[in-house]
Amino acid sequence: MTRRRLLTLTSVLLIVAVAVAGATGQIAAAFDINRFGIHRYAAYTLLALAAVHVVLAWPDLMAMVRHWAQIGRRRRTPPGVPPTARVPAGRRFALGAAMGFAAGAAAATAFGSLQRRSGVPDEVAEAGDLGVLYHRWSRPTYLGGLVKSFAPILEPPLYKSYPAGAVFALPSAGEAARMPLHQAIRRRRSRRGFSDRSMTLQELADVLFLAVGETDHTDRSRPFRAFPSSGALFPTETYVGVHAVEGLAPAIYHYQPQTHALVRVRAGGQSAPLMRAALDQGMVAEAGAVIVLASYFDRVGWKYKDRAYRYALIEAGHIGQNLYLVAEALGLSCCAIGAFFDDDVNALVGIDGVREAAVYMAVVGHSASAA
Ligand SMILES: Cc1cc2nc3c(=O)[nH]c(=O)nc-3n(C[C@H](O)[C@H](O)[C@H](O)COP(=O)(O)O)c2cc1C
């Protein structure tokens, strides 16, 4: 293959790499992903291609430099020679590539804004965002409250059960985290580096109990839990992708708060599929365990109707902070994950994504720096 052909091929690949790196950069920014594997590899590829491009275009670059050096002497060019004949091929190529990039960027911007507008219902376009529309639409009214109070009550069960699933009891928890609360709050960070060190079963039990467990059975028909819940309906279900926990085989489990036990819902280690489902964020495969919080919408929807979705997400947020603080107090790393492919995560934990859907993930495990 000639140098010119190689150069063209490298230019095409460069454009592809720029597009992928740009798009994945946008995705990373939009979803708050701090370590996005595809973006990183696209950027490395981009750098390598840029270096190859420079090497291949070196003669053209030199010609350009020579051309600039000759600009001062241009007046001595014999009359009648067309101006383009004085511009070396390398410079024309560089100019063409720059214009191509500019045109591509303009077209992508226009396409992006058109695509955002097309197919959006009028009310959403007016509100500017589906979330804003939902927020407005789910405002309570007295009349709505009255209608709802006459609606038949079909309250779904408080707990999910897996009669056929293998059950694994967890050690009693609650005493291990001794760090004062004010210290845990001050030290809390999103920590994304994990070591090979496995978590102990006690550590996992502590994380689960102190983040989502039933903490008090004495005073009510419904036990109190580690987080508040609108109407004490507790729509949040907890799944645990176990990668490296001593005494517990890698698999996906469902946490049963009523017995402080895990039930296996999918056998076998799922670190790679879970990582892929979380947009290739490497920490998902490296952590000792991945917590998936799912909202069982019916459990809160029968009562709160349009507002139920708000309450479900708020509840998950409470649990997220519990996870962070408990991990901090136990000397573990924790990072929230909102960037994931919903359908893939739902499929992995075995839920339908409609009546029950994953809303929040978090990773926990031993820190790389403390290893
Ligand atoms: C809802 C939510 C989703 C998040 N999703 C991700 C994520 O997908 N990947 C990631 O690396 N961090 C994620 N984070 C962590 C934030 O990036 C982090 O909280 C933020 O940078 C502030 O840093 P700090 O937690 O150390 O104070 C998420 C945080 C929240 C609250």
Digit-coded pLDDT (tens) for 135-184: 888 888 887 777 666 666 678 899 999 999 999 999 997 666 679 999 99
Q: Tell me how far the alpha carbon of residue 74 lies from the centroid of ligand 1, in angstroms.
A: 58
- Name the residue with higher pLDDT: 219 or 181: 181
CA-based nearest residue to 252, from 153, 329, 137, 350: 350
Residue minimizing CA distance to atom 21 of ligand 1? 190
pLDDT surpasses 90 at 23:
no
- The predicted structure's pLDDT at residue 17: 87
Residue minimizing CA distance to atom 19 of ligand 1? 190
Ligand 1 atom with minimal separation from the 189 CA? 26
Ligand 1 atom with minimal separation from the 324 CA? 25
- The predicted structure's pLDDT at residue 343: 98
Lowest mean pLDDT among 71-75, 92-96, 120-124: 71-75
- Name the residue with higher pLDDT: 268 or 144: 268
pLDDT category at 21 given cuts 50, 70, 90 is: confident
pLDDT surpasses 90 at 71:
no
Ligand 1 atom with minimal separation from the 33 CA? 9
Q: Tell me how far the alpha carbon of residue 301 lies from the centroid of ligand 1, in angstroms.
A: 28
Residue minimizing CA distance to atom 31 of ligand 1? 336
pLDDT surpasses 60 at 340:
yes
- Name the residue with higher pLDDT: 123 or 280: 280
**Per CATH, is 152-365 categorized as 2.40.40.20?**
no
- The predicted structure's pLDDT at residue 371: 45
Mean pLDDT of 84-107: 70
Domain with CATH 3.40.109.10 in the chain: 152-365
Mean pLDDT of 67-94: 65
Ligand 1 pocket test, pick from 27, 34, 189, 325 with the greatest ligand atom count within 8 Å of Cβ, gives: 34
CB distance 28 to ligand 1 below 6 Å:
no
CB distance 33 to ligand 1 below 6 Å:
yes
Mean pLDDT of 284-300: 97
pLDDT surpasses 60 at 8:
yes
Ligand 1 atom with minimal separation from the 31 CA? 8
Question: pTM to 2 decimals?
Answer: 0.75
- The predicted structure's pLDDT at residue 77: 59
CB distance 63 to ligand 1 below 6 Å:
no
CB distance 294 to ligand 1 below 6 Å:
no
Mean pLDDT of 67-91: 65
Mean pLDDT of 32-46: 79
User: Which span out of 86-100, 134-148, 220-234, 304-318 was modeled with the highest average pLDDT?
Assistant: 304-318
Residue 266 to residue 237: CA distance in whole angstroms? 16
Ligand 1 pocket test, pick from 292, 335, 363, 367 with the greatest ligand atom count within 8 Å of Cβ, gives: 335
pLDDT category at 241 given cuts 50, 70, 90 is: very high
The share of the chain scoring above pLDDT 70, in percent, equals: 87
- The predicted structure's pLDDT at residue 360: 98
CB distance 336 to ligand 1 below 6 Å:
yes
Ligand 1 pocket test, pick from 313, 319, 337 with the greatest ligand atom count within 8 Å of Cβ, gives: 337
